[in-house]
Chain A
Amino acid sequence: MANETATQTAMTNNELKLDAPSPVPAVAPEKAAGLVPVTDEQKSKLDIKVDSYIDDLVAQDVNSPEFGQRVDQLTNMGRKEIADAAGQSNRFLDRPVKAMDDDNSVGQDLAELRRTVEDLDPSKKGNLLAPRKLFGIIPFGSKLRGYFDGYKSAQNHISTILARLAGGKDELLMDNAAIDVERQNLWSAMGRLEQMIHVSKTLDARLEDKANELDSTDPAKAKAIRETALFYVRQRTQDLLTQMAVTVQGYLALDLVKKNNVELVKGVDRASTTTVGALRTAVTVAQALVGQKLVLDQITALNTTTANIIDGTGEMLKNQTARIHEQAASSTIPLETLQRAFQNIYDTMDNIDAFKLKALDSMKTTVNSLSNEVEKSQGYIARAEGAERAKLGGGKPAESILTSLSE
């Protein structure tokens, strides 16, 4: 008896808890910078570039085409970094949207599993212990025997669904692997954006200083620097920050999808183990109650692979088997055990459903704010590209240290 309560508490302690992650908040552009650290070494290298650029700019005659060319480099600053990050942001919207899709294979398979399992539920079959009677009068075998025969015909179907669920689980894992790689790429893209933001902010500060310095000696140049160079730098800073905000948000959204997948994998695992557990219990109960050797080959084969997923399931099943045989004398207890096994499956599935509902909510909020931000940033990109094209009309493209970090 003590043994039984122990296993029961073990079962309740082992209760499945699926947490829906909270939605990703919108990231304000002002707060986007600084998430990815830029090392001091990188900073000082970039500062040297900025200084040499400013010296070069100030050395030019204000009205010469060379001065204009140097300023053009500013409008082009970080073009590659922005384009890189933007290219990825088009993709990361797909994932949460796909994850929200209820028609994905795992959802369908779980629903089908539930329908199949409900057909076998002993609590829906009336009093199984009552003797079966032909025409309601003549005793004819036992109802229980007919009930257990149902398992034989269902086992094929169930094992197919379980195999499909395993496949679905693999897909979820693959999804997560892809998300991990995408997040790594995003992280390095954010690192490069962060460096460009550092460059543009430093440029802003130093150009301002330079203009103040020139006010007394060369007011025309000071004015030109303020009106062209500084203006473009500030515009570009805004572009970079906007792109950064979107990228950060996408990065977080991917994490949300990943967490969802992890929970869903847990759910699928649990649904599989509880199902196999119930079927195993049925085999034992059939043996104990009616001396019926219920051979569920397909399930036994699955059992060896599935039961190991959650540690202790195998142990639990073994204990249960021993117990059921002990209790076979009073036939109601084994049936109750079987009913409890079915209840386990239902609990798991209800849990998954509740989780999916909550997760869907978070996902929707995230996708909405993310698509807003992506749209906004794409407006910026379009403007930047337009400026780029206008510039290409006039002569040689400005090769610059500022265009991209790689140069």
Chain B
Amino acid sequence: MNTANQSDQILYEAKAAHNRIVQNRSIGMKSRALKKTHFWKKVGRIGIAAGAILVGAGIIGMIINGLGFVGVMATVMAIMCAAIFFSSYPKMKVPSAENLPNEKLDVLAGKTEIWLESQRPLLPAPAVKLIDGIGVQLDALAPQLQTLDEREPAAMEVRKLVGEHLPELITGFRKIPPHLQKEPRNGRTPEEQLIGGLKTIGHEIDGMTRKIANGELDKLAVRERYLELKYDKPVDGD
């Protein structure tokens, strides 16, 4: 009995740990990059705080002629406090669904990924899988957004799709009370509708990536044809 209880406990803990890992996993490169920069900023802040405390301690030590044992301990304590404080504050801001449409185009994909990560634990399993797929697609789209002009129609479409339709779909689903999420209504459950919507969005992100890439593909083809026209014997029909 006792061992069974223990193994249950172990299993439960393992599951929880696994869940934590799954939840903290980034769904895309862009969100990982944003998290990384946040992490290094944290490290920087801790470093600066520790430096300031050491300098302060040094100055105080000079004034009162030696810190003594208590002083050194106090300094160490202060540094540790600072490290603990700065490692949890400021928290990495998870963008809210309302703010996503106003994000700058070059970080839009990354921010949407972070937002999706925050939503993932609250969604049914099949939707989580789709969201992971969307993360990969957003990664593919992200480099193209870096060079895209905000005023171009493609940019506006991306903003609408990634910044508006996607968050609206997910928040719309979450507003439905959990016990109704699996209940069919007019032949379809809200879960199915969420999955259908996510599929369409994933499909559309892929389409947009292709559409934006078309410009570059054309440019390369034109360049090749130009070289052919200029340096190979031109074939113009006469």
Contact = CB atoms under 8 A, between A and B. Distances in A.
Interface of A: 170, 173-174, 176-178, 180-182, 184-185, 262, 396-397, 399
B226 A174 contact: yes
A177 B218 contact: no
B230 A181 contact: no
A182 B215 CA distance: 11
A131 to B, nearest CB: 50
A178 B227 CA distance: 12
A177 B236 contact: no
26 contacts: A170-B230, A173-B226, A173-B229, A173-B230, A174-B222, A174-B226, A176-B225, A177-B223, A177-B224, A177-B226, A177-B228, A177-B229, A178-B218, A178-B225, A180-B222, A180-B225, A181-B218, A181-B221, A181-B222, A181-B225, A185-B218, A262-B236, A262-B237, A396-B196, A397-B200, A399-B200
Interface in B191-238: 193, 196, 200, 218, 221-226, 228-230, 236-237
A177 B196 contact: no
Most chain-B Cβ atoms within 10 A of its Cβ — which of A174, A181, A182, A262? A181
A182 B218 CA distance: 8
B229 A176 contact: yes
Contacts, number: 34
A180 B237 CA distance: 14
Contacts of A184: 221
A396 B199 CA distance: 12
B234 to A, nearest CB: 8
Contacts of A170: 230
Chain A contact residues: helix, strand, loop or mixed: helix
Contacts of A178: 218, 222, 225
Contacts of A176: 225, 229
Contacts of B193: 396
A48 to B, nearest CB: 23
A399 B226 CA distance: 41
Nearest to A185: B218
A98 B180 CA distance: 60
Most chain-A Cβ atoms within 10 A of its Cβ — which of B200, B222, B224? B222
B213 to A, nearest CB: 13
Contacts of A182: 218
B169 to A, nearest CB: 12
Given A177-B222, A181-B225, 11 more contacts: A170-B230, A174-B226, A176-B229, A177-B223, A177-B225, A178-B222, A181-B218, A181-B221, A184-B221, A262-B236, A396-B196
Contacts of A181: 218, 221-222, 225
